[in-house]
Structure 1
Amino acid sequence: MSDTAHLVAGHSTGEAVTRAARIGGPDVVLTDEQVTDFVAEQLAAVDLDGKSVCVVVPDGTRSCPLPLLLSAVHGALSGRVSRLTGLIALGTHAAMGERELGAHLGCPEGGLEERYPGLTVLNHAWWEPSTFASLGTISADRVGELSGGLLHHGAEVRLNRAVVEHDVVLVVGPVFPHEVVGFSGGNKYFFPGVAGADIIDLSHWLGALISSAEIIGTRGITPVRALIDEAAALIPSRRLALCVVAQSGSGALHAASFGTPEEAWAAAADVSAETHVRYLDAPVKRVLSIMPEKYEDIWTAAKGFYKLEPVVADGGEVILYAPHVREISAMHPEIAEIGYHCRDYFTKQWDRFKGLHWGVLAHSTHLRGAGTWDEQHGERLRVTVTLATGIPEEVVRGANLNHLAPSEVDIEAFTADPDTLVVPRAGEVLFRLR
């Protein structure tokens, strides 16, 4: 192990305290050489010779220096393993084409074989039933235990068969504050990253019941993390993870950790909590979230709301400024029909909505934020959500959101306004009140 690597305690769901190797920390920026050496040292110490290995990596909606990481992994495993597969954890996002994959993995279109000889790269084809293998079920009673009584509903655990058809599965990806699970990463790359709809819907609806504002950035094992870990325990392959903490807005890394997904995630989440959370002394009346182009629709660009909702005053507003966004969701058009509503709008009219995809309902509540609903007063929402995008006004208002023409957004004027917080490259850093 290199001089800069050390052991840190993990937060395992089991009784024993586990440990992961980690390099870097909150106030560190790692060099490419440090990262490559760390990956090589960690993988050299694992019995992988002659084994088949599936490497699960994020899609383009997650920031991290993936070409650096995948090159390090490829260099450490090429010639040692019998088969090497890269699996893009789309969740339910759109598939990445050859040009997008090339840019994502650091090579020209069609140049994957030259950059990573022997590596087969697959999109997680979540729309194809043949993609999945069934690992078993989690009972309603067990879900009740894991959720603290919030939800009593069983689910079949289906996972991309590429994971279970390899001897070893290695998760490679970043950790950030997350609106469903607390902090992303680790076993979340399996569920929902390469999972079937049942467990995705269940986990996301559990997060919605707790609420995004309550769970986002919560350290340790949240009920949703406990559910995901329970599902991951059914995977027959050996599970490992390389979890990293990226410097938001750049390709640099603060830290990398290696171990089981539970261990490596816990070590990285501790660093993410110190680097990806900003604190304000008082709430703000308005936020202008400027969304990067990697968020191609509102389904993904909604992170500009999740990460800012906690610092907006009652009656305030979040403006998602994304002129490049042309649709609410390419993969989930039903969200435009349901619209965006608070949690109580659904739970208090459950017979009306329970037959829909719970993951879609969860996304709806996450973007609409806190509020109440009753038959007498209807829906009352804590903050206003405004889209300044390329989506037609009638579509935006039909989805129960406010509309603002992008041409009317004067970033300099908003920046000069003492009541407005302007956030460039929104979507990754969480803002909280002290």
Structure 2
Amino acid sequence: MNISLPYGKGFLTGELPDSRVAGIIRSHLDEYQPTGTEEYLVEQALLNPIESLPLQFLARDAKKIIIIASDHTRPVPSRLLIPPMLREIRIGNPTADVTILIATGCHRNTTKEELRQKFGDDIIRHEKIVIHDCDDSQNLSLLGILPSGGEFRVNRMVAEADLVVSEGFIEPHFFAGFSGGRKSILPGVCSRETIYANHCSKFIADDHARYGRLSNNPIHRDMIFAAKKAKLKFILNVVLNSKHQIIHAFAGDCEKAHLAGSAFLSSLCQAKPLISDIVITSNNGYPLDQNIYQAVKGMATAEMTCREKGVIIIAARCEDGHGGENFFQTFNNDLSPKTILENILRVPQNQTQADQWQSQIFARILSRNTIILISEADSLIVRKMRMLPAHSLEEAVTLADCVLGHSHGNITVVPEGMSCMF
């Protein structure tokens, strides 16, 4: 059986014995037939906003308008979303002062070249673009206390704007339930302390903080509060297939439009787990598989359909290496993953550390399963992070067989690990 996994900007291919493959689990995103072109879908969403006035009407009396845009770690086709949003705003208010604010959360700054790839030269030349800095205390405003008890500090430009809108995409998210919508505010343009309070160990450990779950999810609860407190009035979110093409678009009220998009996505991505000895998956390719830190998301999907003490094989190019110094150093010691997890669970909310949430989920998976990483990352780094390095699918399966102690373990393949929910 020939297997093809998204890997960087291309694919990783290999062969598996037919007799060992228990099944291949895919979302139905690629099967869905959109009702028109990508541009048409975006236009229709803007013309028919969900429980909101059209964007041009919202912009009429707004002098300062902020459009929050996703950063380089997300495959959002911003060059298809931002121009029609700007057009609608300027139809309603030609003299509005518009700034595009890049929602980096705690990520590194987006480079000029990444901005150019994301928006195109025309937007770069003619629009004001500001990159959010979660540590710039002079440009952060306190807007209240989150339901969780953490302080809600947000970019001052958002706090002082007359109208705040955002673009983004909706995908399954391993602890927020779904990406998109309210996440443009928290974590997108908040202070590091606010993000850390929301991503505390207690919340990450909550059974409701999982893929596809919004109800009773404490992380989502904080995010909704933050979005409303920051007066996020309008969103334009899209759903993408494996080729990062828009198959549906949702615009309007921050919460209602996001719920509609999440429901649509669930109808295509929800799957029944097929528990196996070995699970093979990916992190959906570039830009989602740039580092090990991001690849934890695909591992979290595989965890849901891999038996305890089984093996997860994930293909993620990881050209940026580990992706977080604190994340790396958490595992670069003599402590077992179980001990690391126990230590993290004891950390109070107001003492959450950098990358702690990712380390917590990674340690949880490592405590349960062996992970083999097919990547371009330094093999020494991979080993220091308690994984086994491999450079091909066949090599990874051979390693998995060695871990299991036999060569007849059944295999489940989830080609796009971030597009399925169990």
Q: TM-score normalised by the shorter chain: which range applies?
A: 0.7 to 0.9
With structure 2 as the length reference, what TM-score do the two structures score? 0.77
1:58 paired to 2:70: yes
Q: Could you give the per-residue CA deviations for residues 380-414 of structure 1, whole angstroms, max 9, x where no partner exists? A: x2211222323333323323x22223157558999
Q: Select the residue among 372, 376, 383 that pairs with 1:386.
A: 372
SS of residue paired to 1:279: coil
Query: 1:307 aligns to what SS in structure 2?
Result: helix
CA shift digits 1:4-33 (9 cap, x unpaired): xxxxxxxxxxxxxxxxxxxxx976454222
1:137 to 135, 145, 159: 145
Distance in structure 1 (CA, Å) of the matches to 2:150 and 2:347? 21
Matched, 1:230 2:221: no
Amino acid paired to 1:183: F
> Do the aligned partners of 1:174 and 1:185 also contact (CA within 8 Å) in 2?
yes
Equivalent residue number for residue 247 of structure 1: 241
The answer (yes or no) to whether the contact 2:67–2:164 under 8 Å persists in 1 is yes
Higher mean alpha-carbon deviation, 45-54 vs 167-176, is at 45-54
- Match in the other structure for 2:42: 35
Contact 1:242–1:259 (CA under 8 A) maintained in structure 2:
yes
Q: Which has the higher contact order (CA 8 A, sep 6+)?
A: 2
Please tell me whether residue 428 in structure 1 is matched to residue 418 in structure 2.
yes
Letter in 1 for 2:132: H
CA contact (8 A) 2:382 2:388 kept: yes
C-alpha contact 1:318 1:384 (8 A) present in aligned 2: yes
Q: Distance between the aligned counterparts of 1:342 and 1:418, measured in 2?
A: 24
Q: Secondary structure at the match of 1:218?
A: coil
Partner in structure 2 of residue 5 of structure 1: none
> 2: CA distance between counterparts of 1:135 and 1:288?
44
Q: Structure 1 residues 409 and 50 mapped into 2: Cα distance closer, same or farther (>3 Å)?
A: farther
Q: Match for residue 90 of structure 2?
A: 78
Check the 8 A contact 1:326/1:389 in 2, yes or no.
Answer: no
8 Å Cα contact 2:69-2:167 kept in structure 1: yes
| Equivalent runs, 1:166-185 vs 2, <5 Å | 166-185=161-180
Change (3 A) 1:319 1:370: closer
1:121 and 1:319 map into 2 onto residues whose CA distance is 39
Q: What is the CA–CA distance in structure 2 between the aligned matches of 1:310 and 1:196, rounded to whole Å?
A: 32
Q: How far off its partner does 1:57 sit?
A: 1.6
Q: CA deviation at 1:225?
A: 1.0
> Secondary structure of the equivalent of 1:248?
coil
Q: What amino acid is the match of 1:241?
A: I
Q: CA RMSD in A?
A: 3.2
> In structure 2, do the counterparts of structure 1 residues 353 and 72 end up closer, same or farther at CA, with 3 Å as the change threshold?
same
SS in structure 2 of the partner of residue 56 of structure 1: strand
Q: 3-state SS of the aligned residue for 1:78?
A: helix
Q: Distance between the aligned counterparts of 1:35 and 1:351, measured in 2?
A: 45
For residues 232 and 204 of structure 2, the distance between their equivalents in structure 1, rounded to whole angstroms, comes to 31
Unmatched segments (≥5 aa) in structure 1: 1-24, 144-153, 372-380
* Equivalent-residue separation in structure 1 for 2:340 and 2:162 (angstroms): 45
**In 1, are the aligned partners of 2:212 and 2:421 still within 8 Å (CA)?**
no
Cα distance in 1, alignment partners of residues 330 and 318 from structure 2: 23
Alignment partner, residue 99 of structure 1: 113
Kindly indicate whether the alpha-carbon contact (under 8 Å) linking 1:217 and 1:430 is maintained by their aligned counterparts in 2. Answer: no
Maintained 8 Å contact 2:199/2:357? yes
Q: Could you tell me whether the CA contact under 8 Å between 1:54 and 1:170 is conserved in 2?
A: yes
TM-score scaled to structure 1, two decimals? 0.76
Counting only pairs closer than 5 Å after superposition, residues 26-425 of structure 1 correspond to structure 2 as: 28-31=34-37, 32-40=39-47, 42=49, 43=54, 46-51=57-62, 52-78=64-90, 80-81=93-94, 82-105=96-119, 107-108=120-121, 111-114=122-125, 117=126, 119-138=127-146, 142-143=147-148, 154-205=149-200, 206-210=202-206, 215-235=210-230, 237=231, 239-254=233-248, 256-280=249-273, 282-291=274-283, 292-294=285-287, 295-329=289-323, 332-339=324-331, 345-347=340-342, 357-358=352-353, 360-370=355-365, 381-399=367-385, 401-407=386-392, 409=394, 419-424=410-415
Structure 1 residues 268, 429: CA separation in 2 closer, same or farther (over 3 Å shift)? same
For 1:181, give the aligned amino acid.
Answer: A
Bigger shift: 358-367 or 94-103?
A: 358-367
* Distance change (3 Å), C-alpha of 1:395 and 1:36: same
Aligned residues: 371
C-alpha distance in structure 2 between counterparts of 1:310 and 1:29, whole Å: 33
Q: Give 1:48's aligned amino acid.
A: A
Amino acid of the structure 1 residue aligned with 2:128: T
Q: Sequence identity of aligned pairs in percent?
A: 21
Letter of the 1:93 counterpart? H
1:188 Cα deviation after fit:
1.4
- CA change 1:163–1:30 in 2 (3 A) is farther
Evaluate the alpha carbon distance shift between residue 162 and residue 30 of structure 1 in structure 2; reply closer, same or farther with a 3 A threshold.
Answer: farther
| AA at the equivalent of 1:193 | G
Q: Deviations over 1:193-237 (max 9, x none)?
A: 11112221122224322158x6211244522111222233332x4
